[in-house]
Structures are given as structure tokens and as C-alpha cells.
Amino acid sequence: MLDFKKRFLINVAFVAVIALLVFGVIRYVIPVLMPFIVGFLIAMALRPAVRFITNKFKLKHRYSAILVVVLFYGTVGLAITLLTLRMVDILQALFSSLPTFFSTNVLPVIDFLADNLRQLLANWDIHLEGDNQLSQTLTSLVNNLSSTSVSFLTNMASSVPFMLVSFIFTIISSFFFALDYSLITRFIYHQMSPAVRDIVQRCKRILFSTLGSYLKAYFIIMSVTFLELCIGLGILRVDNFIWTALLIAMVDILPVFGTGFVVLPWALIELFMGHFVLGVGLVIVYGIITVIRNFLEPKVVGDQIGLYPLVTLVAMYAGSMSFGIAGLFGVPICLVILIRLQEEGIIKLYKPLSKKQISFESEKTMVQQ
């Protein structure tokens, strides 16, 4: 009994130390090295294109690597520039129409509410006190909003230099990684024992397979969202509803943003303008899409990457709560890698059920039903 307790405590301590090390690496080491990690991943992703140009046009590897990386960043820079210019045009049109929109739609509503509130305070015989209290409340609200806005803008401004430096280091490191990718990877593998090298290569294979499954899963989710938006916006008779649905579905697939980033402000504007049917309809469409997305995402992602839907849901939630957007995607991927290594006999984390036990449980459930 004493030996069992001792082994149990040793195993718990070992798992706790490993978990603490992994948490420390993810939480503190990876953010510091993120520009170089991203640069290495970019060089790895561009590796097939470099090989293709080298073999096709008989160029030296270094020239092919420089050409591919320059074309990659040129394409990305052009896309960002065009998108920024488009956003500037949209914002200019929006801000130029705001005064007219405010005077014709918002100001009458404010005047109506103010008159009703003034009449209500007068009926309660607290006209002056109510006005003073209302004035103090509005002043406090404006001050808080102003201080919050200033703080937000200050934080954004202070983070710009850091983001710029990180972006520059990412570009530079991706050039170096692309130029000497084979040499760098050979040096890293040379530091490992054959057993560790085999595990790393298997993890790499599983990682790329899982990432491909992830992309397929979210393409399915984006397609479902696009169809839902097409049906909803078509019923609401929105002009160019197919292109609008496609744009919202593309925004929905981006981390942090989601469908509500576009639909909810749009619905609010329509309600302010008095288009209640369209405004309420957009809110209903958003609610339906959100419910279906929350139900569909764990199942589709789990089916594609080979995880049970409940396990996928727990991993996505725990990852997002612990590490934010990176954890939302990273924790399920790490879990898949661990399960694949378990199935291949490299590690042993749990006792899997045999096929006989699974079939017995299924038959037992059917009998109970």
C-alpha cells in the first residue's frame, strides 16, 4: 500500500511538473519568440514553392528563396494596402453622412426622450433636482467615456511600435529561415537522439495533417454560415444579398470578429433609421447563426480532426479561457497530437477501450432505449 501511494505521488508530481513547464513555455517563452516562430512557419509553408521554382527554372536555392519570400510579402502588402484603402473610403463615406443621419434620425429621438423625461420629472415635482441629477449623470458618463477612449487610444498607440518591431523581425527571420531552411533543420535534428527525432517527425506529420483537417472543418462552417446568411438576407430582401453574405461569412471565420461584428451594428443602424423589420430580422438571423454555429463547430471540428465532440468542446473552451484565441485552436491540436502518439504507442496517457467494450456499451445503450 505504501509503495502504491509513493508511486502515485511520484506520478502526480511528474505530471504537474510537465504541465507547469508546458504552461510556462506557452505563456512566457512563445510570446517572446513569436516573430521567429512565425518567420519559421512562413519559411516552412513557402518551402514547396521554393523547391518548385528551383527545379523548374534551374535557379540556385538562395535566389529561389529570396524570390518566393519577396513575392509572398509583396502579395500580402498589396492585399493589406487595397483593403486599407477600401476601408478608408467606407469610413469617409460613413463620417460624411453622419451629420445628416444624426440630425434627421438621432436628434429627434433624443429631443422626444428629453421632453418626456422633463415632463415626468415635472409631474414628480422634482424638476430642478431631476435636471441637476440628470446633468451630473450625463457629465459623469461623458467623462468616463472620454477617459476610457483616451486610455484605449493610448494603449493602441503604445502597442504600435512593438507590433512594428515584431513585424520587421518576422520578415527578416523568414528570409534567413527560407535561405538556410535545410541547414537549420538538419542542425536541430542533429542535436536530438534518434528516438526524440522520430517523435518530432511524427508530431510534424500529425500537425500538418491536423491543420489540413482544421482548414477543411472551418471551410465547412463558413459554407454553412454563408448559406444561412443567403437565406436570411434573401428573405429580408437585402440588395446584393449573395455578395453581402459572402463578405460576412469571410469575416465570421476570422478570430475575434465573428458574424456579430458586422450584423449587430448593421441591425442597430437600421433600427435607428426606423427600418424595424430589417433591424429585427438581422438580429433574428444573427441569433439563428450563433445557435447553429455553437452546436455545429465542436462536432464538425471534432469529426475532421478525430476528436469526440464533447472533448473538442472542452478543449476549445479551456484553451480560449487559458490562452485566448491561440488556445482556442492550439489546445485541440495539441490534444490530437497526444492522442495520435498514444495510438502509435509512443506515449501512454490513458487506457483506451477495446472494440469489444465499445460494441458492448453500444448494445447496452440500445437495449435500455
Tens-digit pLDDT string for the chain (369 aa): 667 677 777 777 877 887 788 778 777 887 888 889 889 989 988 999 999 999 988 888 889 999 999 999 999 888 888 877 776 776 666 666 666 666 666 666 666 766 776 776 666 655 444 445 545 554 565 556 556 655 655 666 666 677 788 888 999 999 999 999 888 988 988 888 888 888 888 888 888 888 888 888 888 988 999 999 999 999 988 888 888 888 888 877 766 567 888 888 888 877 777 778 888 999 999 999 989 988 888 888 878 777 777 888 888 888 878 777 777 777 888 888 888 877 777 777 777 766 666 565 554 554 454
Query: Which region, left, alpha or beta, applies to residue 238 given φ > 0 means left and ψ of -120 to 50 means alpha?
Result: beta
Cβ-defined contacts of 233-236 (< 8 Å, 24+): 233/285, 235/281, 236/277, 236/278, 236/281, 236/282, 236/285
How far from the centroid of its chain's Cα atoms is residue 297's Cα?
Answer: 13
pLDDT at 33: 87
Q: 253 near 262, Cβ under 8 Å? A: no
The 10 Å Cβ neighbour count of residue 269 is 16
pTM of the model: 0.63
Task: Give me the pLDDT at residue 130, please.
Answer: 45
- CB count in 10 Å sphere of residue 282: 25
Q: Which residues contact 232 (CB under 8 A, 6 or more apart)?
A: 281, 284, 285, 288, 289
